[in-house]
Structure 1
Amino acid sequence: MLDFYHVDVFADRPYTGNSLAVFLDPPPLTPEQMLAVTQELRHFEAIFVWNGARARVFDLLEELPFAGHPVLGAAAVLHELHGAADWTLELPAGTVRVRTEGSIAAMDQGGAEVVNPEVPASGVAESLGLDAGDLVAELPLQVVSTGLPYLIVPVRPDALGRARIARPDFGDFLAAFGARFAYVLDVEALEGRHWNNDGVMEDVATGSAAGCVGAYLLAHGRVTDGEEFALAQGRFVGRPSRILVTPRADRVTVGGNVAMVGTGTLRVAP
């Protein structure tokens, strides 16, 4: 029997934001079983937590060393059950500290690393179904990581709605630059989009990328050190989400509202 909690993260109310399945203290499961459970439930990701600390996250394709909205969702469930305000979750990429207050959860993603300071623009726009003129020429394409490396692709406002993954080897294309995923960012509206590398499924709200975006925008003078801003995502899949980001010179905090939706039980393990 596998009990789980269904929550929506970065959501002002249930049935918005990014949905998530949270499993607390499940019996021992292999990575293959956890992936199968995630694929069965069809949330973008699921998180498995033992003893309120050790955690593993899976999306529909693989295990992730770090992911933002599962960490926040798990901390919110732990808060509802136990009432404490501070949580430390141990993921393969490292330890993440989360603070919960009411329905808000915020995580300290630590400092950001610029993995690749200047990715050549050649081929990037085309790989995302765009033209070279859709990129913001005065901003560089960079790979930034707070645990998961994203290629930040700044685009002009009218380009965001046209973006898509347009090549079958997109994951290999990104890996050549040191990136795991890409995040397409409208720097004027502070709105972004992200997909699995096969392009089949678009993510609703990407907490791990939001931290990278915060560090990127701060480094290029687009936001203020220590001042919270809201990053929008999910509009194009009908799940509007609001991610709260506070960038600082040495660290980035990412948070948002978590809405409790329901509970469930899987009667058998895969």
Structure 2
Amino acid sequence: MPRFPYETVDVFTDKPFGGNPLAVFTDARELTDEHMQSLAAEMNYSETTFVLPPDNPSNDARVRIFHRTAEMPFAGHPNVGTAYVLARNGQGGEGRLRFEQKAGLVEIAVERDLSGEVTGAVIAAPQSLSLGVEFPAASIAACANVSADAVITTAHNPVQASVGVAFVLAQVTPEGLGSAAPDLAAFKNLARQHAELAGRLSLFLYSRTNEGIRARMFAPLAGTWEDPATGSASATLGALLLSIEGGDKATFTITQGVEMGRPSLLRVMSRRAQDGFRSRVGGNCAPMFRGEALFR
């Protein structure tokens, strides 16, 4: 009977039962696309990754990322967590890993403590910032089930943005952030109104405080009612804020998952590059489980 080993890890936390859980299948060579999608649905995490040999031998792996219902071209916490797992298993000895993904090549710096133990990773998003459609504040407020005046448009309107995978970014008041809850009917209605969303609507709400940035992410159309840590959205937000506020570089500390009881801490480093605004995002990880999937 074929056996497919996997490990699970909590990402963007240094404590078990915090952060965003991830399942990593460390050798997916005999798995079909259908197997991968079914396993991601079975694991029921925000995402599950599948490690394959790279197409280019100068890279370390080809990593495919699936959420409960579809494959993703790129995502933050799956890359951080997969790098952590592979580094703990002996890869990335020089502190670097390169993952091939649908959105492009993801370069990763492995982080270790003074004793040499792997603690986490920092990934570079594969694309520079791109912006798409803007949305009325009232439409976003309806999706988040908050009042329209909870959506702040001083710096920017709610906008679709990407550094490898698209999110709708919206600033809200601290009170709005705390009370937000996804309204499935409003999500479906907004997705129907905008064909350019291609049925994908992931809403990343954030609020700025003296301590940094607090955030929440809702993607009920993809089966994720709320996500405890969203690295790709955080990287996108950092690039967007730098593009608005000016300067050559900026760092941001983003806290997410508090309302879910899974506090997460994400570090974002954004910079102005020749091709636009780029971001890196990183954090710690905590190992959880090891197991095997069996197929007859």
TM over 0.5: yes
Shift of 1:63: 1.0
Q: Which residue in the other structure is 1:64 paired with? A: 72
For residues 236 and 249 of structure 1, what CA distance do their matches in structure 2 show? Answer: 33
For residues 67 and 189 of structure 2, what CA distance do their matches in structure 1 show? Answer: 18
| Cα distance change of structure 1 residues 133 and 256 upon mapping to structure 2, 3 Å threshold | same
Q: Percentage identity across aligned positions?
A: 32
For residues 208 and 159 of structure 2, what CA distance do their matches in structure 1 show? Answer: 14
| Cα distance change of structure 1 residues 190 and 174 upon mapping to structure 2, 3 Å threshold | farther
Q: Which residue in the other structure is 2:238 paired with? A: 214
| Cα distance change of structure 1 residues 88 and 19 upon mapping to structure 2, 3 Å threshold | same
Alignment of 1:247-262 (within 5 A): 247-250=270-273, 251-262=278-289
Q: Give TM-score scaled by structure 2 length.
A: 0.83
The answer for unaligned runs of 5 or more in structure 1 is none
Deviating beyond 6 angstroms after TM superposition, the runs of 4 or more aligned structure 1 residues are none
Native 8 Å contact 1:174 1:182 kept in 2: no
Q: Which residue in the other structure is 2:45 paired with? A: 43
What secondary structure sits across from 2:137 in the alignment?
Answer: coil
What secondary structure sits across from 2:145 in the alignment?
Answer: coil
What secondary structure sits across from 1:112 in the alignment?
Answer: coil
Q: Which residue in the other structure is 1:193 paired with? A: 216
The answer for unaligned runs of 5 or more in structure 2 is 54-59, 113-118
Q: Give TM-score scaled by structure 1 length.
A: 0.91
For residues 224 and 86 of structure 2, what CA distance do their matches in structure 1 show? Answer: 32
- The one-letter code of the counterpart of 1:246 is M
What secondary structure sits across from 2:136 in the alignment?
Answer: coil
Structure with the largest fraction of strand: 2
Native 8 Å contact 1:144 1:212 kept in 2: yes
Native 8 Å contact 2:238 2:251 kept in 1: no
1:96 aligns with 2:106: yes
| Cα distance change of structure 1 residues 117 and 215 upon mapping to structure 2, 3 Å threshold | farther
1:183 aligns with 2:204: yes
Native 8 Å contact 1:230 1:242 kept in 2: yes
Native 8 Å contact 1:149 1:178 kept in 2: no
What secondary structure sits across from 1:160 in the alignment?
Answer: helix
- The one-letter code of the counterpart of 2:82 is A
For residues 112 and 163 of structure 1, what CA distance do their matches in structure 2 show? Answer: 29
Q: Return 11-20 or 160-169, whichever deviates more.
A: 160-169
For residues 12 and 215 of structure 2, what CA distance do their matches in structure 1 show? Answer: 14
Structure 1 residue aligned with 2:19, among 14, 17, 21?
Answer: 17
Q: Which residue in the other structure is 1:168 paired with? A: 185
Q: Which residue in the other structure is 2:115 paired with? A: none
Q: Return 127-136 or 166-175, whichever deviates more.
A: 166-175
Deviations 1:176-213 (A, max 9, x none): 27454210111335111112233762111001101111
Native 8 Å contact 2:29 2:52 kept in 1: no
Native 8 Å contact 2:142 2:186 kept in 1: no
- The one-letter code of the counterpart of 1:132 is A
- Equivalenced residues, count: 268
For residues 161 and 6 of structure 1, what CA distance do their matches in structure 2 show? Answer: 29
Deviations 1:211-243 (A, max 9, x none): 11101221232x974343210111111100001
